[in-house]
């Protein structure tokens, strides 16, 4: 029995260490969901680039590289796209977040609900800011978007326009309505820019649909419970 107690204590220590590490990093499986539920994740990149390209695929590749460099995000096996608009492609088309597209709840990497679905994402406000980057840091930074409040390019200020380019702010939760901008607070569009399309800025990246499964720490806890039952039966 003494050996069993030591073994359980050792396993418990490993599990607690895993759980502590998970709490200190990004959250890829939101709380409050159940096995088989589908959702999407969104983050702001820790890396920067300019907004000079007219090709939306360049920005998609940029956010994909940021996400897949993180083992926890790469393990999800999903696609990643930029929340941004070029002259040819609107953000809501690029991210498949139109009202006619399949809709899922969207969470940031701090385990906060950003939007309950596609319509909620573009209805004027989001529920929580997209403030966490792929490395697990909460940041207040400008983001290149080229996008107005409804998920479409705005006038001639889209990504790759070669001049004044619309940007968002990662701690914002509001969006422009019509031709009205929200100075310094808009998550997707602000008055002003960060130095023109040649300046270095962040981007928002959003995943494709992900199916909820228990995280490793949760699985380890379940395994510990099973181990306890087995050892308890052996003692009897």
Tell me the per-residue pLDDT of 2-32, one tens digit each, with 9 for 90 and over.
444 444 444 444 443 444 444 448 999 999 9
In contact, 187 and 202? CB cutoff 8 Å:
no
For the cut 60, the answer to whether the pLDDT of residue 186 exceeds it is yes
Integer Cα distance of 189 and 8 in angstroms: 53
Q: Which residues fall within 8 angstroms of residue 201, CB to CB, at 6 or more apart?
A: 48, 49, 50, 51, 141, 142, 143, 144, 167, 194
In this predicted structure, the answer to whether residue 210 has a pLDDT above a threshold of 50 is yes
pLDDT tens-digit series, residues 145-165: 999 889 999 888 999 998 888
Tokens of 61: 């590749």
pLDDT of 162 reads 87
- C-beta neighbour count of 207 within 10 angstroms: 23
**pTM (2 d.p.):** 0.83
| pLDDT at residue 14 in the model | 41
As a CATH number, domain 29-213 is 3.10.100.10
Q: Could you state, in order of their start, the residue ranges of all structural domains in the chain?
A: 1-28+215-236, 29-213
Strands annotated E in the chain: 38-44, 80-82, 106-108, 113-115, 142-144, 167-169, 204-207, 210-211
Candidates 172, 206, 197; CA nearest to 48 is 197
> How many angstroms separate the CA atoms of 51 and 102, rounded?
29
CA distance 197 to 16: 46
19-43 burial string, b = 16+ CB within 10 Å, else e?
beebeeebbbbbeebeeeeebbbbb
Instruction: Give which of 221, 177, 236, 215 is closest to 27, Cα–Cα.
Output: 215
């Amino acid at each position: 029995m003494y050996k069993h107690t030591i073994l359980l204590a050792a396993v418990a220590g490993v599990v607690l260490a895993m759980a502590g590490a998970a709490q200190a990093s990004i959250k890829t499986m939101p709380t409050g969901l159940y096995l088989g539920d589908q959702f999407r994740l969104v983050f702001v990149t820790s890396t920067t680039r300019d907004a000079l390209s007219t090709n939306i695929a360049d920005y998609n590749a940029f956010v994909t590289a940021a996400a897949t460099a993180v083992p926890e995000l790469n393990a999800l096996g999903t696609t990643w796209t930029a929340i941004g608009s070029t002259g040819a492609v609107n953000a809501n088309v690029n991210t498949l977040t139109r009202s006619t597209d399949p809709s899922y709840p969207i969470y940031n990497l701090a385990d906060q609900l950003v939007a309950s679905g596609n319509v909620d994402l573009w209805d004027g406000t989001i529920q929580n800011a997209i403030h966490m980057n792929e490395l697990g840091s909460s940041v207040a930074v400008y983001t290149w978007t080229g996008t107005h409040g409804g998920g479409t390019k705005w006038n001639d200020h889209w990504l790759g326009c070669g001049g004044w380019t619309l940007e968002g702010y990662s701690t914002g939760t509001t969006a422009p309505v019509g031709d009205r901008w929200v100075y310094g607070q808009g998550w997707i569009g602000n008055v002003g820019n960060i130095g023109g399309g040649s300046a270095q800025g962040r981007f928002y990246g959003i995943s494709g649909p992900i199916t909820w499964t228990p995280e490793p720490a949760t699985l380890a806890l379940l395994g510990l419970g099973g181990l306890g039952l087995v050892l308890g039966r052996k003692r009897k």
